[in-house]
Structure 1
Amino acid sequence: MLERLNQAMDHLERHLDQPLDVAGLARIACTSEHHFRRLFSALAGMPLSEYVRRRRLTVAGAEVLTGEASLLDVAVRWGYGSNEAFARAFRAVHGVGPAEARRTGAVLRSQPRMSFRLVVEGSTSMDYRIVTKNAFQLAGVKARVPLVHEGMNPHIVAFIKGLDPETVRRIEALSDQEPGGIVNVSDDLAGSRAEGTELDYWHGVVTGADVPEDLDRLPVTAGSWAVFTVSGEFPQAVQHLWRDVFTQWFPSNPYESRPGPEISKVRVSADGRTADAELWIPVRQAAAAARSRQAGTSRT
């Protein structure tokens, strides 16, 4: 998987001055566009679009300093329709405008070319199971909140504290399948997964029952789910598991993420310091693995 990702990165670098073709990069990596975006963000720590912007302006910065092309020519080559638009983007990355940088030989910032490699950090294994579920629905209440990578999310905390206890009891009574009981759900999250990205946060249950009209409802299509468990300090253990799934488990296994809500079932200790949690990630067999299996079937 990492080798294919690096092939995609090589292709991106060779075509850096052309429109970003995420679908083409995903084909090189033998995965879906959705999974490519998610995996890149988790591994790189930034959205793909932000990395490409920084790389383009890094190379553009070098061209500005050499002085061999006009600023407008440099701007057009790197996708900016005017000197003004180029200057705004250039200043956002380098802290100085291109004209001033050329005139004074200013110090510029550089985004290094990125590649991925496997680093063995420990011997801790990740336990998981694959569950195939029929179509179901989420029932509960939701709020639009910003993503927080580390620590408690104050927007989610305030939302849950504001819920009526009787409403929560009614929601929990609708639970009739795995994962049982109240679950926390992230949905409609931008592929970048950048800090502050907005998402739909659900406080609800997984159910096949009829949902009262005064509750929010989200139909979920049938499919497979990778289920991970963790116990540890709250909320760090749950947040780190989420990170490790995308940075360690996906690159090492023949699966890719598919569109769908991400579900966590968290049971916090009485003192609020630790928790036991299950994380449900919608997955499908990776494209390369599926083709290999089909080829094997055709030979039998």
Structure 2
Amino acid sequence: MDWTTGIQNAINYVEEHLCEEIDYEAVAGQAASSSFYFQKIFHSLCGISLGEYIRCRRLALAGSELKSGRCKVIDVALKYGYESPESFSRAFSKFHGVSPSMAKKESTKLRSFSRISLKLIINGGNSMEYKIIKKEAFDVVEKAEIHSLDNGENTHTIPDFWSRSRKDGTIEELLELASDQKFLFGICYGNGKESPETFEYAIGAVCGEDTMVPEGFRKTTIPACTWAVFECTGAMPEAIQEKWNEIVTTFFPTSGYVPTYEMDIEAYTDGDMSCPDYKSEIWVPVIQKQ
């Protein structure tokens, strides 16, 4: 299955189950992906989180049904997964700008939100530089937090995590513990336990096997694997976010490699992250397409 077909299969699955509780793992399975990576890819490709897409599609369809005048508000609310008319009314009013009862009036204008149809368009001879590197397992000492992919929250909360870590001494302590100070890592683990839209993000550094781990930190072994490594130049966080979009829209659809969906690493060098020539890297564990 090619990249674009897998994502479209997942979108089709969502559309077929809008009136049911949607299992994000089942959605991701349509693209042979993990829930975490599918949501990350979906947001990069479509410019909207999976959760927001589902909410918008349901509310748009609910508006169409109420506009027809043949449905009761309570019936439409329950059909699209709302537990009460009140919660449905709040979400509906926020989306459409009018109440569900007003939606039934002929003169009322409602907001539309069409289903997504993906097409891979390759323009010109765009190329992307990358390296494929095999690395043995290594240990990192790190501090982790739970972040959310919903509405792209992670693009704001992760930079805030880094800012807090500089101010509270976390970065300084990691550098003291590091056995290799070439990089500080930002590691995304696709294992958020709070909800399907959450994931764990850690700030860490390579450490030795015998490193004593202070309270509030942990030691994790990154398994041996093959990495696709992408160099990134530019101020953070915009440069790393733009590089991720490039990886998702250019590298994976055409390279012959797919992610293993275990984790990914952002590798940051020492220097001023706000400089336009700041250097960083993205490491993605990959396997060749079968």
- Normalising by structure 1, report the TM-score: 0.76
The whole-number CA distance in structure 1 between the counterparts of 2:177 and 2:275 is 23
Match of 1:17 among 16, 19, 31: 19
- Give the alignment of 1:107-186 within 5 angstroms: 107-121=109-123, 123-141=125-143, 149=155, 153=159, 155-163=161-169, 167=173, 169-172=175-178, 174-175=179-180, 181-186=182-187
Match of 2:258 among 255, 258, 265: 255
The whole-number CA distance in structure 2 between the counterparts of 1:185 and 1:283 is 18
Corresponding residue number in structure 2 for 1:283 = 286
The whole-number CA distance in structure 2 between the counterparts of 1:243 and 1:74 is 37
Deviations 1:48-85 (Å, cap 9, x if unpaired)? Answer: 12101110110110001111111112112212232222
Corresponding residue number in structure 2 for 1:273 = 276
What is the aligned-residue identity percentage? 29
Give secondary structure in 2 for the equivalent of 1:274: coil
Offset at 1:12? 2.6
Deviations 1:179-211 (Å, cap 9, x if unpaired)? Answer: x623131335788xxxxx886441x32234322
The whole-number CA distance in structure 2 between the counterparts of 1:17 and 1:270 is 45
Give the direction of change, closer, same or farther, for the CA distance of 1:229–1:66 in structure 2 (3 Å limit). Answer: same
Q: Which runs of 5+ in 2 are unaligned?
A: 193-197
**Residue 220 (1) aligns with residue 221 (2):** yes
- Match of 1:209, as an amino acid? E
Number of residue pairs matched by the alignment: 275
Deviations 1:150-196 (Å, cap 9, x if unpaired)? Answer: 8x935523432442886355223x22xxxx623131335788xxxxx
Find the structure with the greater CA-based Rg.
1
Offset at 1:143? 6.4
Corresponding residue number in structure 1 for 2:51 = 49
Asked whether the 8 Å contact 1:232–1:276 carries over to 2, the reply is yes
The whole-number CA distance in structure 2 between the counterparts of 1:161 and 1:105 is 55
**Residue 39 (1) aligns with residue 41 (2):** yes
- Match of 2:90, as an amino acid? R
**Residue 80 (1) aligns with residue 82 (2):** yes
Asked whether the 8 Å contact 2:42–2:50 carries over to 1, the reply is yes
- Match of 1:159, as an amino acid? S
Give secondary structure in 1 for the equivalent of 2:212: coil
Offset at 1:113? 1.0
Asked whether the 8 Å contact 2:265–2:283 carries over to 1, the reply is yes
Give the direction of change, closer, same or farther, for the CA distance of 1:270–1:131 in structure 2 (3 Å limit). Answer: closer
- Normalising by structure 2, report the TM-score: 0.79
Asked whether the 8 Å contact 2:66–2:76 carries over to 1, the reply is yes
- Match of 1:217, as an amino acid? R
Give the direction of change, closer, same or farther, for the CA distance of 1:221–1:93 in structure 2 (3 Å limit). Answer: same
Offset at 1:126? 1.6
Offset at 1:15? 3.1
Moved more, 226-235 or 43-52: 226-235
Q: CA RMSD in A?
A: 3.3
